[in-house]
Amino acid sequence: MRDQDQSLYDVYKDYFSIGAAVNIRTIKSHKDILIKHFNSITAENEMKFESLHPKMDQYDFTNSDLIYHFARTNNMELRGHTFVWHNQTPNWVFEDKNKQRVSRETLLQTLEQHISAVVYRYGEGIYCWDVVNEAVEDRKTEYLRDTKWLQIIGEDYLMKAFEIAHKKAPSALLFYNDYNESNPEKRKKIANLVFTLKKNGAPIHGVGLQCHWNIFDPCFDDIKRSFEIYGSLGLKVQVTEMDISMFEFSDRRADLVKPTVEMIEKQATLYEKAFKLFREYKEVINGVTLWGVADDENWLDHFPVRDRKNWPLLFDENHEPKEAFYRILQF
Ligand code: GLA
């Protein structure tokens, strides 16, 4: 039976919330799908540092307010993304007017003021935050990514960020978020990082697994192991940015005008397997978010190849449910 009328989030109400990344266009253009099938949203870019706080003495809540109100009006959870990241953070945060590096104290103060202003605006309307995004290095030989946060503050910048976030937003769930999350080498480092943070008393409540996968990836044993590891540390897991690209990361060909039947089938099978696994770990997982709503607009159309169409989500370019959608709806 192909029941288009069932709501995805309703089907999953005893498991975890179902989220989508949105922007100020898609909350209008994809409104119907969002309202019907999703009960959680994340701002795709609108709550990043450069969007909210472009200049030292200037905050801009115009776009984030629209997303916040969309969530409130439609009774959806809102995930906060993100406070500390090496990307999409303006230079003024790290450099003074003379282009000199700011001090550790100044950077910590900036972070505290930033978090304070954002939390003051949205309060409990944002129930969880990705406090730190992508702090772990991909290269095997290195542990933490060499960012300005690390260089200026030192290794305890993560601890400090969680402490500040908790002080300002005591009721929010606080997450560490990263990609390549199930790759055993990187997972070991992420697990070590969150374990150490927790052991040292950091107010960390969960790990966000981005889950930017493709139809040739992921290894389900590795993913399962991630849930077990983080669960055993007493942390919650959220799948925060899921999509399943039609291309391997190293595949840069750009001549495909539509996905083949095999690709669609492979993608559907992977979504089905993934959601089956997520359901099995519902005690650990309390949210699954897709990084976009439908295939007509998503970041993979521009990454890693500009203007190459990709079809990574559950709804097609005409906003119709794909095979993958039905597979995760019916179990
Ligand atoms: C990372 C970030 C997201 C987003 C995606 C690409 O995963 O965490 O905020 O920028 O890359 O769109």
pLDDT digits (tens, 9 = 90+) for 77-105: 999 999 999 999 999 999 999 999 999 99
| Most informative mutation of 67, 133, 241, 301 for ligand 1 (most atoms within 8 A of CB) | 241
From the CA of 330, how far away is ligand 1's center (Å)?
29
pLDDT of 2 higher than 70: no
Do the beta carbons of residue 39 and residue 17 sit within 8 Å?
A: yes
Q: Is 112 annotated in the active site?
A: no
pLDDT of residue 217: 83
pLDDT of residue 208: 98
Which stretches within 128-213 are classed as H helix? 148-153, 157-168, 184-199
pLDDT band at 1 (very low <50, low <70, confident <90, very high): low
- Element of type H or E holding 132: strand 128-133
Residue with tokens 């946060």: 149
From the CA of 22, how far away is ligand 1's center (Å)?
12
For atom 3 of ligand 1, which residue has the closest CA? 44
Q: Quick one: which of 166, 241, 151, 238 has its CA closest to 198?
A: 166
The model carries a pTM of 0.97
Q: Is 241 annotated in the active site?
A: yes
From the CA of 266, how far away is ligand 1's center (Å)?
24
140-150 pLDDT, tens per residue?
A: 999 999 999 99
Q: Which residues pair with 162 in a beta bridge?
A: none
